[in-house]
Chain A
Amino acid sequence: MAVTDYLRQRFFPHMWCPGCGHGTILNSLLRAVEELELSKNDIVMTSGIGCSARISGYVDFHSLHTLHGRALAFATGVKLSKPELTLLVPMGDGDALAIGGNHFIHAARRNIDITAIVMNNRIYGMTGGQFSPLSGPGVKATTAPYTTIDANFDVVKLAIAAGASFVARSTAYHARESTEILKKAIMHKGFSVVEILSQCPTHYGRKNKEGDAVAMLELHKTNTAKLGSKQLEENPNLVARGIFIQEERAEYCIEYGKIVEHAQRRNVK
């Protein structure tokens, strides 16, 4: 199947600004689905609210566009009620880690088989450029005209500490790498978190003088380095890309299946 077969072309053109990183991430994701030869009927994409969340409307899967921050809570209900489905949950940074932070850590703790994709552009795009919990200090935003003083979460560390059994990071610039990581994340049996650095030229870029989309993409390249690379070793200030953790661990729906078996056996006795 061609990538376009995974899109609901009826609903195009999409609503993203020119140069937005989200379209590239969608492309990486669809390629991953295509290369894994997954059936469209087996995929449920659940998203929250924000620019990133609109992704679910464009894909030709079962799609559930929910409430701000709640995508993982909805996805948990979908997955546990029908574990054979593949759950893809793209979220924005504010969506996933501010209003949705509690659901994020608890989905990770349960290690439920869902692939969470944090499309991190460090800003609230849809509402016009407010800082997010991933902006970090020293960033300009409409709600931080004098720059932010808030520290940011490290999504990777947070996800690992909370119990996710697959955690990785890539960027919109590294589209091919993202696809490869997403393929592994989707196939992983457990809660997978893939942080993909994205760019919002409209708000973040403009406010923080990072230039246009091309310049911002360039930053994804120059500010990051592969895990285990010499570059990273030499310059620890670079943001690491790659797979940080990939472990086999008890998965929630499988464990619940055992509870059902146990309860039924006891009931027969």
Chain B
Amino acid sequence: MTEMIRFVQGNEACVEGALYAGLEFFAGYPITPSTEIAELLSGRLPTNGGKFIQMEDEIASMCAIIGASLTGHKVMTATSGPGFSLKQEAIGYACMAEIPCVIVNVQRGGPSTGNPTHVSQGDINQARWGTHGDHSIIALTASNHQDIFAMTVDAFNLAETYRTPVVLLLDEAVGHMREKLTIPAKDELQIIDRLRTSLGKDVDYHPYLPREDGRLPMSDFGGDHRYNVTGLYHDMWGFPSANPKVVNQLLRHLVDKIENNVHAITRYKEYYLEDAHYIMVSYGSSARSAIHLAEERRKRGERIGVLELQSIWPFPTEVVREKCAAARAVVVVEMNMGQVLAQVKSAVEHPERVFLANRIDGKLIAPHDIKKLLRVIQGKGV
């Protein structure tokens, strides 16, 4: 297959990325503004032998993809705020039982039913802490369709590598906007498949005994190794255990396998950062406005740049600290009450120089919204 150029919605770019990554099973439930993902996959998946199922609710969709992942398939579900809330219990299960899966959340305004057809980035913290108990998780995001495609592929790669749920945080604006997408030729992007055990039929397989590098080779349900999968703390056989040593070890493993690999997981882009006095930290559709503003101000000689985060969790603390070290001021541009702001403040050396440029009214934050704040910070007045 050679590369192909299409004009698509962001949600469709996500579908293309998922299929490119090898998606084989999707379960979902209709919800605005992510429904297009389910609609498109209901048509596309069976054409290459994949499976699509519309479940009775959001909870069931999450459970079904976990079941399908265990039989050895690449799986995904897609939702938005209220559905993301409902899925949290099963997301925690996937964390605990270490089941690779991808959850797309096309964010809309919340809390509750909120603002279904309008943009928001209010689920950043929910992606991190939506499910109960200590755990770690990977969350990616993207600001344009080419990146949605790439981040979707990455979401699958990371899920399979770390045996974890990966959340892809899109938002209503990028999800519904149309722009050009170049679908790369086959083999152009790296596709990672899960590690499978090489142990033979009659060899005792320990599904939950991590190798030295922290990875656990899997065995597909239906194969030669029969083992137990549970959401309870469990020993190396997957059998429930409340032994303090087992509990302690497992929780540390679940957190460490992700937090210790923050460098490998971190994804970002930078624009005009080299000599920037003012740095905008942004992500998703907000980053489009930040980049637009930086381009415009650069033409006028202003030393301003953008750090666009593409991985949000585990938070790329070191990258943010490093990139912002020389900045006179850092402006976090996002569409919530400062969820990434809090992370940036705790990452940098001078949190008092970090400001929030936000919109929370369902309207896309515009370059002039940021500019107003910037002028105040720069002492230029509005």
Residues of chain A in range 77-131 having any CB-CB distance to chain B below 8 Å: 77-82, 84-85, 102-103, 106
Is A60 located at the chain interface by the 8 A CB criterion?
A: yes
Interface centre among B47, B69, B73 (most CB of A within 10 A): B47
Evaluate contact between A66 and B231: CB separation under 8 angstroms.
yes
Who on chain A is nearest to B49 by CB? A260
Decide: A267 near B71, CB < 8 A? Known: A60-B226, A62-B227, A77-B25.
no
Residues of chain A in range 43-80 having any CB-CB distance to chain B below 8 Å: 44, 46, 54, 56-57, 60-67, 70, 73-80
Evaluate contact between B240 and A80: CB separation under 8 angstroms.
no
In Å, the complex CA distance between A67 and B93 comes to 8
Evaluate contact between A62 and B221: CB separation under 8 angstroms.
yes
Which chain A residues lie closer than 8 Å to B53 at the CB level?
76-77, 80, 256
Is B296 located at the chain interface by the 8 A CB criterion?
A: no
In Å, the complex CA distance between A41 and B227 comes to 10
Evaluate contact between A78 and B226: CB separation under 8 angstroms.
no
Evaluate contact between A62 and B51: CB separation under 8 angstroms.
no
Q: Given A44, A60, A70, A77, which contacts B222 in the complex, CB threshold below 8 Å? A: A44
In Å, the complex CA distance between A44 and B220 comes to 11
Decide: A75 near B222, CB < 8 A? Known: A63-B229, A70-B90.
no
Is B89 located at the chain interface by the 8 A CB criterion?
A: yes
Q: Given B47, B73, B89, which contacts A264 in the complex, CB threshold below 8 Å? A: B47
Is A146 located at the chain interface by the 8 A CB criterion?
A: no
Evaluate contact between B46 and A77: CB separation under 8 angstroms.
no
Q: Given B49, B67, B93, B232, which contacts A75 in the complex, CB threshold below 8 Å? A: B67
Evaluate contact between B230 and A65: CB separation under 8 angstroms.
yes
Evaluate contact between B46 and A74: CB separation under 8 angstroms.
no
Who on chain A is nearest to B44 by CB? A263
Is B326 located at the chain interface by the 8 A CB criterion?
A: no
Evaluate contact between A76 and B46: CB separation under 8 angstroms.
no
Interface centre among A60, A78, A102, A264 (most CB of B within 10 A): A78
* Minimum CB–CB distance for B87 against chain A, Å: 11
Decide: A80 near B56, CB < 8 A? Known: A63-B229, A65-B232, A73-B63.
no
Please give 19 more A-B residue pairs, beta carbons under 8 A apart, in addition to A78-B68, A263-B43, A263-B47.
Answer: A40-B226, A60-B226, A62-B222, A63-B228, A64-B221, A65-B228, A65-B232, A66-B63, A66-B93, A73-B56, A76-B63, A78-B70, A81-B51, A81-B68, A81-B73, A82-B222, A84-B222, A102-B57, A103-B56
Q: Which residues of B contact A (CB under 8 A)?
A: 24-25, 27, 43, 46-49, 51, 53, 55-57, 59-60, 63-73, 75, 89-90, 93, 221-224, 226-232, 237, 239-240
What are 6 sample pairs from A and B whose C-beta atoms fall under 8 A apart?
Answer: A56-B228, A57-B230, A57-B239, A64-B70, A67-B63, A78-B68
Q: Which 7 A-B pairs have the closest CB atoms?
A: A77-B67, A77-B64, A81-B68, A73-B63, A263-B46, A73-B60, A106-B56
Q: Which residues of A contact B (CB under 8 A)?
A: 8, 10-11, 40-42, 44, 46, 54, 56-57, 60-67, 70, 73-82, 84-85, 102-103, 106, 256, 259-260, 262-264, 266-267
